[in-house]
Structures are given as structure tokens and as C-alpha cells.
Amino acid sequence: MSVEVTRGQGAIVLGLPHTGLEVPSDVMAGLNARGQALADTDWHIDKLYMGLRADVTVVRQTVHRYVIDVNRGADDASLYPGQATTGLCPTTNFDGEPIHLAGHAPDQAEVAARIAAHHTPYHQALSTELARVRAIHGIAILYDCHSIRSRIPHLFDGTLPDFNIGTNLSTSCAPLVEKTVEEICRAATGFSTVVNGRFRGGWTTRHHGQPAEGIHAIQMELAQSTYMEEAPPWRWDDARAARLRVTLVQILDALQSLADRKVLT
């Protein structure tokens, strides 16, 4: 099973779609050296959020995004039409470079098998946990945890802001959820923030965010420069991470407070 679930009794479900490093041996054998480096991992994101709140639920995909990207729809429709991006079973990395040996990109049958083995179970687990915590609190808040290098010319110009908040153009959660997270981020000294910029929320946010039904989804894409070194071997930086975690715990505490105060129901 490629999905790990840690249950909590709070209203927040953390989604971790891109921290997994598992690659089946047959898939790894078909990757070139660039692909085998697994450079586009959301490095250390599970460690970054660990222990910020004891009552959160965590749903984590353990296979690497080069096997299947569970933050894409099963139909592989582009999340950002007209912009460079990667697909459901990626054939290139974030720099637009091929990641497979010649003739080893997955065919339709292999893609279907990966959807059944990894994509469907991950989203079923998210749906199950969101329904469970909504039954407890009347609402559920899906906080989708991501990170990416701050400079990737193939995907975006210049340097990415530190906090990239995505709510699919303010449709995946109540306005108060978006406003609460944005205000905390903008108040954090030394950090930059954007809402619905280059990353406005992936398929997970767009699919599960149903605020009219009491399920609010928000994506946080962090620039990796805020907590680590953005080059191999992708080292964690204690000082930067500790500073960032202060703001992240404020965000999670504030979101749980919204649930406790029943202001979203």
C-alpha cells in the first residue's frame, strides 16, 4: 500500500503527495540518470510539518512523483493550460528535460496500472479522512503541503515568492480560510507571499475543495529556499526551518481555531 495515514481528531487534514521516495525497481530501471536523481521531490516537507500540531491527520503518498503525480487528475488534463508543467506520469523534470531512457516512458496500460495502485487509493484515503473529521467538527480543512525550488526558468520567471497560497482563484475554500492564511503569511517578517499566483492549487485542492459541503481546501507551495539548500544533496537547514515553522504553526493553529469557533459552518 503506497498510502500512509496518521489519524488525528482535529479538523485539519495534511496532504503530502510529493514527499515519497519509493520507486519500483522496474520503473527505476527505465529512468535515465537525471530521472534517478529524483530532483523534483518536495524534500523534507514531512519533517517540516511534523509535530506542529498533535491533532492533525496526515495522508502521505509514499511513491515518488516520477512514478505517478497524485496531484494531477487521472485524465492528465493540464492544470495550467498554456504554461509549462509536468503530467500525471511525468516524462520530463521541472527543467523540461527527459527523465526516461529511450523507449521506457510508461504506455497507456502502465499509466492505468499506476492510477489503480497509487492515485485512486491516495484520493480515497483523503476523502475518507475528510469525511471523518467533518463528522467530528462539522467542517474539514485540507491543507495540501508542497515545496519547490525557488528558481526554475522552465516553469516561471525570476524568483518564486516564499509562500504561494493556492485556492483555485478563491473557489476551493471559504473566503475566511484564504484570508486567515494570507494575513499570517504577509505578517511574517522577511518572507514574501502571493495568493493564486503561478501555483493556484493542484488537482487535489480543486477536486476535494467543496466549501458548500463543509470541506475547505488550500494549497501551500513553499519555496525550498525557506528551509533547505536547493541543490544536491538537498540538505535541511535547521535555522531556516525553525524560523519557518513558527509561521506554519501559526497557520495551523488559526485554521483549527476557525473550526473550533464554528465560523465556517
Q: Residue 114 has which C-alpha cell?
A: 499506476
Say yes or no to pLDDT of 187 above 80.
Answer: yes
CA dihedral 115, 117, 121, 122 (to 10 degrees): -70
Does the pTM exceed 0.85?
Answer: yes
Q: What is the mean pLDDT of residues 132-149?
A: 98
How far, in Å, CA of 108 to CA of 111, rounded? Answer: 5
DSSP helix/strand/coil, 125: helix
- One-character DSSP codes across 16-52: ESS---B--HHHHHTB-HHHHTTTTS-TTHHHHHTTS
Task: Give 142's DSSP letter.
Answer: E
Element (H, E) at 163: strand 163-166
CB 255 within 8 A of CB 143: yes
Say yes or no to pLDDT of 134 above 80.
Answer: yes
Say yes or no to pLDDT of 145 above 80.
Answer: yes
Of 160, 25, 20, 153, give the one whose Cα is nearest residue 84: 153
Give, in order, the Cα–Cα distances in Å from 21 to each of 1, 40, 42, 130, 191: 14, 10, 10, 25, 29
Over the chain, what is the mean pLDDT? Answer: 97
pLDDT digits (tens, 9 = 90+) for 55-76: 999 999 999 999 999 999 999 9
The pLDDT value given to residue 2: 92
Q: What is the mean pLDDT of residues 31-60?
A: 98
Say yes or no to pLDDT of 1 above 90.
Answer: no
Q: What is the mean pLDDT of residues 203-219?
A: 98
Count CB atoms within 10 A of the CB of residue 261: 9
Of 166, 13, 193, 195, give the one whose Cα is nearest residue 79: 166
User: How are beta strands 57-61 and 3-6 bridged, if at all?
Assistant: antiparallel
The percent of residues in the chain predicted with pLDDT above 70, rounded, is 100
3-state SS string for 204-219: HHHHHCEHHHCEEEEE
Could you tell me what percentage of the chain is helix, strand and coil, using 3-state DSSP and rounding each to the nearest 5?
Answer: 35, 20, 45
Say yes or no to pLDDT of 265 above 90.
Answer: no
